[in-house]
Amino acid sequence: MDSFSRKVKNELARLLPSAKCCQRAELAAIIRMDGTVEIHADRGMVLSVSTGNAAVARKVYKLMKKLMPVKVVISMRRETKLRKNNVYMLQVVAPSDEEVWEILEFKIHDDGYYILNHPDFLSRNCCWRAYLRGAFLGGGYVSNPEVTGTNHLEFITGNDFHTSLVERLMFNLGLQPKVGRRKNNKIVYLKESAQIIEFLNYIGAHSALLTYENVRIFKDVRNKVNRLVNCETANLNKTVNAAIEQVEFIQVIRDRQGLEFLPPTLREVAELRLEYPDASLQELGQMLTPKVGKSAVNHRMRRLKNIAEELKERKG
Residue 113 has pLDDT above 50, yes or no: no
In contact, 109 and 116? CB cutoff 8 Å = no
State yes or no: pLDDT of 84 exceeds 70: no
Supply φ then ψ for residue 263, to 5 degrees: -60, 150
Residue 288 scores a pLDDT above 50:
yes
Q: What is the pLDDT of residue 230?
A: 87
* CA trace torsion 19, 22, 23, 27 (10° rounding): 180
Position 100 scores a pLDDT of 52
* Residue 171, pLDDT above cutoff 80: yes
Query: What domains can be seen in the chain, in order of their start residue?
Result: 3-204 (3.10.28.10), 228-315 (no CATH)
Strand 71-78, strand 178-182: pairing: unpaired
**pLDDT attached to residue 104:** 53
Per-residue pLDDT, 41: 66
User: Which is more confidently placed, 129 or 35?
Assistant: 129
- Identify the pLDDT of residue 315: 66
- Of 86, 60, 85, the closest CA to residue 73 belongs to 60
Q: How confident is the model at residue 105 (pLDDT cuts 50, 70, 90)?
A: low
Q: Using a cut of 0.75, tell me whether the model's pTM lies above it.
A: no
Model pLDDT, residue 80: 65
